[in-house]
Chains A and B, each alone.
Chain A
Amino acid sequence: MQMKRLRLKLSRQYEAIIKLLLMAKQGKIALREAHISAADSLIEATLLVEAPPAKIYWFIEKARSSPYIRSLEELG
C-alpha cells in the first residue's frame, strides 16, 4: 500500500468535487484526509489517499484526464 498527498484545483462546481470522490470510490482508493476549500474561481482540494501503487497511478491519471480537474500536484 502507498500513501500519497495530492493537491488539486477543480472547476468551481459541485460536480467536480463529486466526480473526484466518485473516481476515488471506483478505484477503491482509501481517503485518509480530505480538505476542500473554495477560492475565487476554483476549488482547491488536498487529499491524502492510500491504495496499492497501481491504483494510485490509475487515480492520478484518471483525475488528470477529467475536464473538472484543472491541475493535480503530487506532494509526496
Chain B
Amino acid sequence: MKASDALVRKMEELGVEVVFGIPGGANLPLYDSLYDSSIRSILVKHEQHAAHAAEGYARVKRRPGIALATSGPGATNLITGIVNAAMDSAPLVAITGQVVRSFMGTDAFQEADIVGMVLPHVKYATVVLDSSRIVKEFVNAYMCAATGRPGPTLIDLPRDVQQEDIGEVPIDEVAADPEFVRSPQDADEGSIALAADLIARANRICILAGGGVYFSDASDELLKLAEMVNAAVVCTTPGKISVCENHPNVLGVVGMHGRIESNTAIIDADLVICVGTRLSDRAIGPAAEFKKNRKIIHIDIDPSEVGKNVIPDVGIVGDAKKALNALISRLSTMSVRPKYPGWVEGLKELGRSFDDYMFSQIDGSRLSSYKVIKIIRDELPKSAIVTTGVGQHQMWAQLFFKVLEPGTFLTSAGLGTMGFGLPAAMGAKAAAPDRIVLNMDGDGSFLMTCQCLGTIVEYDFPVITVVFDNRALGMVRQWQDLFYKKRFKDVDIEDRTNLIKLAESFGVEGVFVESYEELRSVLRRAIRNDEAILIDVPIDKDEKVFPMVPPGRWLSDIILPPGFSAHADEKIASQAK
C-alpha cells in the first residue's frame, strides 16, 4: 500500500470529512490518494484560508480541522493560521508536503524548514522521514491537537515518503502513543474545598469565562454555578463563544473593549473565578491590579497556565466541566447565600443604560455600526454562526452582538488576525451546512482574504458577509486619534476598490445599503434563501469603539463615549456602594 493511501484511510477512519488546502509538487501523492477517498477536499485560493477554514470547522465541530499545503511557500502561507489556532487554543492539523529526502538540506526548489518555523507555536511538529511511520505520526498529531488543551500540530511529509510502498498496514490498529493523548487530570479535592470556602466567604462573585469553557462543553455547569452563588458572568473575547448572553447572570465581554458592566463587575468583585482562560492582558489589564483587592480562583486544563500571568489564591488544574461539577457538588453541601442579591441586576441596569445612551446618540445622518449589529442579531436565527475579521467591527460585535447559543461566535482573539472572518466562515459552513453563517468584516480586514469569495461560490458555501466599510484601518486610526495626536498615517484607504463589483467578479451578489430598512430587507432575503451575499455598509471613519481601556491601564481607567462619563461615574459609584 502506498503510504499516502494509508494516511488517507486513517483520516477517514478518524472521521475526517473535509480538508482545506492547495496541491503542489510536494504533496501530489497525498492529493492523488484523496482522489479515491470519501473526504471532501476544498481547493482554497491561499493557504492562509485553509488554516482559518480548518479552524472555523474545528470550532464548530469541536474536533480538529485539517489544512493541507505543499512545501515552501505553500507551507509558509499556513503559518499565520497555525499561530492563530495556537493563540486561541483551536485543534488544527496541518499536513505539509516537503521536498524528497535526498534533496532536503540543499536549498532545493520550494524547500523550507516549516517544522523549524512553527515549532514555537505548535503542540507538536515533525518531519516524517520513515514512511512506515506516516499513519502513526498522523494519529499522534491528530490526537495531540484534540486532547488536553486543544491546539495546532503539523506533520511534514517529503514527497518520496508519501509515495513509498509500505506493504499491508493494519490501519485500524494504529493508535496514538500515550504521550500524545494526555487526559486532563482530575481536579484536586483539596483545591475544590479551598475554592468552595472562598466562594462561601465572598460578597460579590464574578465568573470570567474563557474559550476553554466551550471546548470543555461546560457552559451549562458554568451558568449553574453562577445561579447558585448569584455571580456575575463576564467573558474574554474567545470566551464569548462559551456563554449565552441573554442569561440573566451574563454581562458580556470584559477587557480593553469590554462592556462597561463587565469591567465594573471585575472592579467591584471580591472574588473572580476564572475558567478556561489564560488571563491575557487584553482581558484583565495589568495582572498586579487584577490581583489587588480580590481573591482569584483559576480553573484551567493546562497546568502551566495556572500562575503564568496571575498567581491565583486557589488554582484548580483540570477539565472545566469536571472541575465545575466538583465545585457545584461541594457547594451544594454548604450553606452559600449571595450577600448582595441585587448586585448583578444593578450591573445589568448599568449595561442597559449604556446601550440606551449609545442608541440615543444615533442621529440618522449616517449608519451607526452598533445599530447595524443590532439589526443583524435581530434578523439572524439564534443558531446562526457569526465570524468576524479583526478591527473596530470586531470590537463593536463583541460589545453589541449577543450570543444566544454557545459555539456561535468565532473570532481571532489572541493573534488578532485581520482576514480571519471569511475563511473561518467558510469552514464553519462546511461544518454546519444547515445553519446560517454570517461574517462581519471591516473593509481593511475583508480585503486581506477576499479571494475566498471564489471558493465559497465554487463549493456552494453560502456565507453572508457584512462589510463595515469606513475606507480606513479604523482601529489603528482610532489609536492615532486618541494616542498619537490625530497624526493619521497610512490608515485612510483612498483607493477606489468597488466591493460590489469585486464580489460580483467572484460570482457573489453584492449590495450597497444606505438605510437600516434596506439592510434588514437584504439580510432577510439572504437568510431566507441561505445565499452567499456581500452587503457593503458605509460607516463613518470617525466612529470609535467605546468603551476603551488604554493599553497597559487598569479597567477602571476606562474611556467612555463622550457625554456618558458623568452618567457612568454615577452608576459605578452606586454599584461600588
Query: B248 near A: Cβ within 8 Å?
Result: no
Contact at B304–A61, with CB atoms within 8 Å? Answer: yes
B-side interface size class: 20 to 34
Distance in Å from the Cβ of A27 to the closest Cβ of chain B?
A: 9
- B120, B144, B148: the one within 8 Å of A26 (CB): B120
Contact at B304–A58, with CB atoms within 8 Å? Answer: yes
Distance in Å from the Cβ of A19 to the closest Cβ of chain B?
A: 6
Give the secondary structure class of B's interface.
mixed
Residues on A with C-beta less than 8 A from B140 are 67
Residues on B with C-beta less than 8 A from A66 are 123-124
Query: B307 near A: Cβ within 8 Å?
Result: yes
Residues on A with C-beta less than 8 A from B149 are 65
Q: Which 10 pairs, one residue from A and one from B, show the smallest C-beta to C-beta distance?
A: A61-B304, A61-B303, A62-B304, A67-B179, A22-B120, A67-B180, A58-B304, A67-B124, A54-B307, A58-B308
Residues on A with C-beta less than 8 A from B179 are 11, 67, 69-70
Residues on B with C-beta less than 8 A from A19 are 119
Query: B563 near A: Cβ within 8 Å?
Result: no
Contact at B302–A15, with CB atoms within 8 Å? Answer: no
Query: Would you mind naming 11 contact pairs between A and B with Cβ atoms under 8 Å apart?
Result: A15-B115, A15-B125, A15-B126, A18-B116, A18-B119, A22-B120, A59-B304, A65-B302, A65-B304, A67-B182, A69-B179
Q: How many residues of A contact B (CB 8 A)?
A: 20
Contact at B311–A13, with CB atoms within 8 Å? Answer: no
Interface residues of B (CB under 8 A from A): 115-116, 119-120, 123-126, 140, 144, 148-149, 177, 179-180, 182, 302-304, 307-308, 311
Residues on B with C-beta less than 8 A from A57 are 307
Cα–Cα, bound, A62→B311 (Å) = 16
Residues on A with C-beta less than 8 A from B303 are 61, 64-65
Residues on B with C-beta less than 8 A from A26 are 120
Cα–Cα, bound, A64→B302 (Å) = 10
| With A11-B179, A13-B126, A19-B119 already in contact, 9 other A-B pairs whose C-beta atoms are closer than 8 Å | A15-B119, A15-B125, A15-B126, A18-B116, A18-B119, A66-B124, A67-B144, A69-B179, A70-B179
Residues on B with C-beta less than 8 A from A22 are 119-120
Residues on A with C-beta less than 8 A from B182 are 65, 67
Residues on B with C-beta less than 8 A from A18 are 116, 119
Residues on B with C-beta less than 8 A from A62 are 304
Distance in Å from the Cβ of B13 to the closest Cβ of chain A?
A: 21
Cα–Cα, bound, A72→B308 (Å) = 19
Cα–Cα, bound, A64→B123 (Å) = 12
In the complex, residue of chain B having the shortest beta-carbon distance to the beta carbon of A26: B120
Distance in Å from the Cβ of A56 to the closest Cβ of chain B?
A: 11
Cα–Cα, bound, A11→B144 (Å) = 15
Residues on A with C-beta less than 8 A from B123 are 66-67
Interface string of A5-19 (1 = CB under 8 A from B): 000000101010011
Residues on A with C-beta less than 8 A from B148 are 65
Cα–Cα, bound, A8→B126 (Å) = 20
Residues on A with C-beta less than 8 A from B144 are 67
Residues on B with C-beta less than 8 A from A65 are 148-149, 182, 302-304
Distance in Å from the Cβ of A68 to the closest Cβ of chain B?
A: 7
In the complex, residue of chain A having the shortest beta-carbon distance to the beta carbon of B149: A65
Residues on A with C-beta less than 8 A from B115 are 15
The verdict on A54 contacting B311 (CB below 8 Å), with A13-B126, A67-B180 known, is yes
Distance in Å from the Cβ of A22 to the closest Cβ of chain B?
A: 5
In the complex, residue of chain A having the shortest beta-carbon distance to the beta carbon of B179: A67
In the complex, residue of chain B having the shortest beta-carbon distance to the beta carbon of A71: B179
In the complex, residue of chain B having the shortest beta-carbon distance to the beta carbon of A57: B307
Residues on B with C-beta less than 8 A from A15 are 115, 119, 125-126
Distance in Å from the Cβ of B117 to the closest Cβ of chain A?
A: 11
Distance in Å from the Cβ of B145 to the closest Cβ of chain A?
A: 11
Distance in Å from the Cβ of B428 to the closest Cβ of chain A?
A: 29
Cα–Cα, bound, A54→B307 (Å) = 7
Distance in Å from the Cβ of A31 to the closest Cβ of chain B?
A: 16
